[in-house]
Amino acid sequence: MTSRMRIALITCIICVIAVSAVVVLAFSFSSSDMPLDDGSVRIPILMYHHFADEGNVGTTISGELFAQQLSALRDAGYTTISFQELTDFVFYGADLPENPLIITIDDGYLSVYETAFPLLREYEMIATAFVIGVTHGQDRYKDTNFPIIPRFDDAQAISMVESGFVFIESHSYDMHQHEPFETGPYRRGVLRREDESEEEYIAAFRADFERSAAQIEAMLGTRPFVFSYPFGISNELTDELLMDMGVTVTLKITQGVNVVTRGDPSTLLSMHRFNVPGDMTPEQLLDMIR
C-alpha cells in the first residue's frame, strides 16, 4: 500500500469515528434535554386538584401516589419553580434552574393543606394553588347549601404561603359554576352568557376578577398575577382583560410543554398544563412531560 493510500484510509477512518460520535451524542439527549438557542426554556406545568384515597380518578390522587411522583420528579432532576421566578425570567432575564417544572393545584380543596402541603415540604418542592373565591373556606355551595368537598380557609392559606412551599393565585371568584347547583343564570366558565351584551359581559368579568383579587389581597397582602381559567375555557377577550388588571400569566388545560422566551410576555399567556390523573404511575408521568 502506498503512503498516499494509507493517508486516505486513515482520513476515512477518522471521518467515520467523528460521524459516529455525533450520532451517539445526538441520541443521548431526549427532546426535552436539548438546549434552545433563542433565550427560551421548556416548562412543563402539572395540574392537580384533590388529594384523597377515593374519588374521581381524573381529578383525585392519593397522597401515597403523589409522594411517589414527587420523588420520581426529584430523582429525574426536575426543580420546581414559582410563577414569580418564571416571570422574572421573561421580564428581567433572571436565570432558571436546569429542568424547571411548575406544579399547580386547582380549586383550593382542604386536602391541599392536609395532604399535599406536608408532602411538598418533605420533598422540598413548591406548588401554586388556585382558589375559587366563592367557595374559599366553605363546605357548602354558595346560597344553595349543597355539600361540596371542603376548601382550605384563610388561616390555612396563610400558613402554607408563609412556609414558602405553596403560593396562592386566582381561579376566579364565581365563574367556576356547577350548573346543577345554580339557582340563577348559569355561566360556563368565563364565557359570555347569551343574555349579556358585550359591555355587560366585560363589566361582569372585570368585577369577578377584582373581587377575587381583593379577597386574596386581604388574606395575603399580595395581589394575584396568575389566573387559572375555570375548566380551561377562555375567549378572545379574556387574556387582554386580565392583563389590563395586572395579570401576567394565564393557564388553560391543553396538554403540552410550554416554550417560554426571555423578553416575550406573550409566551406566558394561555399556557399548557398536563393533568395528572389518580392512576398515573411516576414512570408514566415522566414519560408524559418528556
Which of 125, 119, 118, 135 lies closest to 170, judged by CA? Answer: 135
Residues of the chain with pLDDT > 70, as a percent, come to 87
Q: Give the 3-state secondary structure of residue 147.
A: strand
Strands 127-131 and 100-107: parallel
What is the C-alpha separation between 99 and 200, in angstroms, rounded? Answer: 44
pLDDT digits (tens, 9 = 90+) for 124-161: 999 999 999 999 999 999 989 999 999 999 999 999 99
What is the C-alpha separation between 198 and 195, in angstroms, rounded? Answer: 10
Region of 205 on the Ramachandran plot (φ > 0 left; ψ -120 to 50 alpha; else beta)? alpha
Which letter, b or e, does each residue of 41-69 get, where b requires 16 or more Cβ atoms within 10 Å of its Cβ?
A: bbbbbbbbbbbbeebeeebbbbbebbbeb
Which pLDDT score, from 0 to 100, does residue 143 have? 84
Which pLDDT score, from 0 to 100, does residue 36 have? 60
Other C-beta atoms lying within 10 Å of the C-beta of residue 39: 13
What is the C-alpha separation between 63 and 71, in angstroms, rounded? Answer: 12
Region of 145 on the Ramachandran plot (φ > 0 left; ψ -120 to 50 alpha; else beta)? left
Region of 88 on the Ramachandran plot (φ > 0 left; ψ -120 to 50 alpha; else beta)? alpha
Residues of the chain with pLDDT > 90, as a percent, come to 86
Which pLDDT score, from 0 to 100, does residue 45 have? 98
What is the C-alpha separation between 111 and 105, in angstroms, rounded? Answer: 10
Find cell 395532604 and name the residue: 115
- The answer to whether residue 33 scores a pLDDT higher than 70 is no
pLDDT digits (tens, 9 = 90+) for 189-236: 999 999 999 999 999 999 999 999 999 999 999 999 999 999 999 999
pLDDT digits (tens, 9 = 90+) for 228-273: 999 999 999 999 999 999 999 999 999 999 999 999 999 999 999 9
- The answer to whether residue 30 scores a pLDDT higher than 50 is no
